[in-house]
Amino acid sequence: ETVLVTGASGFIAAHLCQLLLAEGYRVRGTVRTNAKGDYLKNLFEGKGEFEYVIVEDIAKPGAFEQAVKGVQGIAHTASPFFLNAAKVDDLVKPAVQGTVGVLQSAQKYGDQVKRVVVTSSVAAIMQPGPGPYTLTEDFWNTESPQVLEKEGDAASGPHKYRGSKTLAERAAWEYVKESQPPWDLVVVNPPFAFGPIIHQVSKPEDINTSVATFYAFTHGGKTESDLGTSPGNWADVRDIAQGHLRALIVPEASNRRFILSAGPFTSQEIVDEIHTWKPEVPNVPIGKPGNGKAIASQAVTFSGERASAVLGVTFRSFGECLRDMHESLEKRFP
């Protein structure tokens, strides 16, 4: 069977492609440039059947018409993830139009499609703070779309991103309700994705948003004042890829959303872990070693229980995730 992975050049998508190939699926990835496609072709050389097609602009009507032909499953991961966008449309337009565009093309031209998995985010679930409380798939982020409507381009960068993910996921469910396609929809909602990078990143400034958050800790970009809070929830990119794969194939997943979260993390836990490494990483703040769990207990928890129960996803430890992420970054940028 062939799976179409949109935005194959991304951090999460490259892992998903790798996993699908390892499981014996043929993979067709969409990328914006030949250079990104050729990088992936090289990466997956000898690991299975990988091909790529160019989709330069996911927001363009009909962008996926060719890409969906002959595939049985689709994982739509392509969506801009930046927390400093100037304009609402920089994020909302590609997020919403890209998502609806994939679904339209799947219905019109994807005559073999059985299931579409859309990568949403816990950003589409998030509620105004502070914690501690637990959020499940029953919640929707109603705040960010309202903020975008009220404040427009003046809205904060995080609201622009969260709004884009919320509006895109909402549009996906609405599309399915209204258009009654012959395939079913599954949505996955990951939190901060950490773990090793395998996608193309040629300089540190180009590291994807979530991994860049960690890279700052090991490269003098954080101070003592950055500790003491929980920036959010996390999961290992390899477990998130596993969640996508299971979402594509588990029958009971049909028409549901799945939080792919290992739970809250704190900056204190990141620095505590880094300080155990040899050789030592310089310029890493110290904070109050051992205090991370107490800080995390005050945070908002996104529950990964449904993903564990229905999809059978298991979540790696934070330590393993951080070590593997660091190693991959050191190799890339010694």
Rule CB under 6 A: which residues touch ligand NDP? 7, 9-13, 32, 36, 57-58, 77-81, 94, 119, 121, 165, 190, 192-193, 208, 210
User: Which residue, 231 or 288, is less far from ligand NDP as judged by CB?
Assistant: 231
> CA 301 to CA 71: how far, in whole Å?
36
Nearest residue to ligand NDP, scored by beta-carbon proximity: 10
Q: How far apart are CA 10 and CA 26, in angstroms?
A: 18
Q: Which is nearer to ligand NDP, 211 or 227 (CB)?
A: 211
Residue 34 CA to its chain's centroid (Å):
23
Closest of 69, 152, 148 to residue 105, by C-alpha: 69
Query: Position of tokens 């990119």?
Result: 237
- CB burial readout 157-187, b (16+ within 10 A) else e: eebbbbbbbbbbbbbbeebbeeeebebbbbb
Query: Taking CA 27 as the corner, what is the angle to CA 24 and CA 28, rounded to the nearest 5 degrees?
Result: 170
Distance CA 207, CA 81 (A): 11
Nearer to ligand NDP, 112 or 200 (CB): 200
In angstroms, what is the minimal distance from the CB of 288 to ligand NDP?
26
Please, what is the minimum distance in Å from the beta carbon of residue 15 to ligand NDP? 8
Q: Which is nearer to ligand NDP, 12 or 100 (CB)?
A: 12
- For 21, 87, 283, 301, the CA distances from 129, given in Å and listed in that order, are 40, 25, 31, 11
Q: Of 217 and 291, which has the nearer Cβ to ligand NDP? A: 217
Give the residue with the Cβ less far from ligand NDP, 86 or 294.
Answer: 86
CB of 44 to ligand NDP, least distance (A): 15
Do residues 261 and 306 make contact, with C-beta atoms less than 8 angstroms apart? no
Token pair in block for residue 11: 């951090």
Q: Which of 105/290 has CB closer to ligand NDP?
A: 105
Nearer to ligand NDP, 94 or 110 (CB): 94
The nearest distance, CB 278 to ligand NDP, in angstroms, is 28
Alpha helices in the chain (DSSP H): 11-22, 34-43, 88-109, 143-151, 157-179, 209-218, 237-249, 267-274, 292-296, 305-306, 318-332
Close Cβ partners of 33 (under 8 Å, ≥ 6 residues apart):
54
Residue 264 bridge partners (DSSP) = 233
